[in-house]
Amino acid sequence: MSIDSTVVSTPAGPLSILAGPDGDVRAAGFTTDPAALLPLVHPTLRAPLRRRDDLGAISTAVRSYLDGDLAAIDAVPVRQHTSGEFMAHAWQVLRDVPPGAPVTYTGYAALAGRPPAVRAAAAACARNAAALFVPCHRVLRTDGTLGGYRWGLDVKTWLLGHERRLTAS
Q: What is the CATH number of the domain that holds 104?
A: 1.10.10.10
Looking at the structure, do residues 64 and 95 belong to the same domain, yes or no? Answer: no
Q: How many residues does the chain have?
A: 169
Residue numbers of the domain that contains 162: 85-167
**Residue pLDDT, tens place only, 33-65:** 999 999 999 999 999 999 999 999 999 999 999
Looking at the structure, do residues 67 and 89 belong to the same domain, yes or no? Answer: no
Looking at the structure, do residues 152 and 113 belong to the same domain, yes or no? Answer: yes
Looking at the structure, do residues 63 and 90 belong to the same domain, yes or no? Answer: no
Looking at the structure, do residues 105 and 141 belong to the same domain, yes or no? Answer: yes
- Residue 85's pLDDT band (cuts 50, 70, 90): confident
Q: Is residue 134 part of a domain?
A: yes
Last residue of a domain, one of 36, 55, 75: 75
How many whole angstroms separate alpha carbon 32 and alpha carbon 7?
7
Looking at the structure, do residues 53 and 117 belong to the same domain, yes or no? Answer: no
**How many CB atoms lie under 10 A from the CB of residue 115?**
12
CB-based contact 80:114 (threshold 8 Å): no
Q: Is residue 146 part of a domain?
A: yes
136 carries an active-site annotation: yes
Looking at the structure, do residues 71 and 90 belong to the same domain, yes or no? Answer: no
Q: Is residue 30 part of a domain?
A: yes
CB-based contact 14:30 (threshold 8 Å): yes
Q: How many domains does the chain have?
A: 2
CB-based contact 90:81 (threshold 8 Å): no
Active-site residue (options: 37, 40, 136, 159) = 136
- Residue 76's pLDDT band (cuts 50, 70, 90): very high
Looking at the structure, do residues 34 and 93 belong to the same domain, yes or no? Answer: no
Looking at the structure, do residues 71 and 10 belong to the same domain, yes or no? Answer: yes
Given this model, what pLDDT does residue 168 score? 85
Last residue of a domain, one of 75, 105, 126: 75
Looking at the structure, do residues 15 and 64 belong to the same domain, yes or no? Answer: yes
Q: Is residue 80 part of a domain?
A: no
Looking at the structure, do residues 94 and 137 belong to the same domain, yes or no? Answer: yes
Looking at the structure, do residues 50 and 9 belong to the same domain, yes or no? Answer: yes
**Residue pLDDT, tens place only, 120-141:** 999 999 999 999 999 999 999 9
Last residue of a domain, one of 75, 110, 135: 75
Please say whether the dihedral angle defined by the alpha carbons of residues 135, 138, 142 and 148, taken in this order, is positive or negative. Answer: positive
